[in-house]
Amino acid sequence: MGTLWGKRGKDWTKNLSSGKEFTDNCMKGIAEEVEKFHSYNVLAFDRESHYFVVQETVNNRNCRPLTHFNVNLQTRTCDCGRFQTFHLPCSHAIAACSHINHDYTTVIPDLYRVINVFKIYIQSFLGVPQEDNWPSYLGDTLMHDERMRQNKKGRTNSTRIRTEIDTV
């Protein structure tokens, strides 16, 4: 584990010195969304609350009709659900940012920044010592209950709850 931690630390040091602002996985996801955002129209927006209605002009989803999506840049939500799920701006959010000449990288969370990932690997730790060098355990000894073990052979037991109607 210690060698993996050291290797990852070196890798992120290289990424930091290369001048990258965001992680490769983040930029890969963003690149896929940037390809799609040109096929949307931003219909309505409220600059104060950063609320937008984005309408599809090209059917990217093949099986569903064209629709619209509500995007809120302040709360980082979109009706498509990608913005909330992956914490990266979806193509609808990028279209909304483009509509108001706002840089979409400002809505990318800080956890995707290379500097923050690099900070994880700054701390070092000692490896796990040999089992002979472990301190003796002074707590309770736990043992499993054999009756709780599932019987692997034969027919499975019914899990149905029996009532008085079963005895009639």
Q: pLDDT tens, position by position, for the chain (168 residues)?
A: 667 878 888 888 888 889 889 999 999 999 989 988 888 899 878 878 889 999 988 776 666 678 899 999 999 999 999 999 999 999 999 999 999 999 999 999 999 999 998 888 888 777 788 999 999 989 998 888 888 777 677 777 667 788 888 777
- pTM tops 0.85, yes or no: no
- Which parts of 52-144 fold into alpha helices (H)? 82-86, 91-99, 114-120
Q: Which of 15, 22, 44 is nearest to 89 (CA)?
A: 22
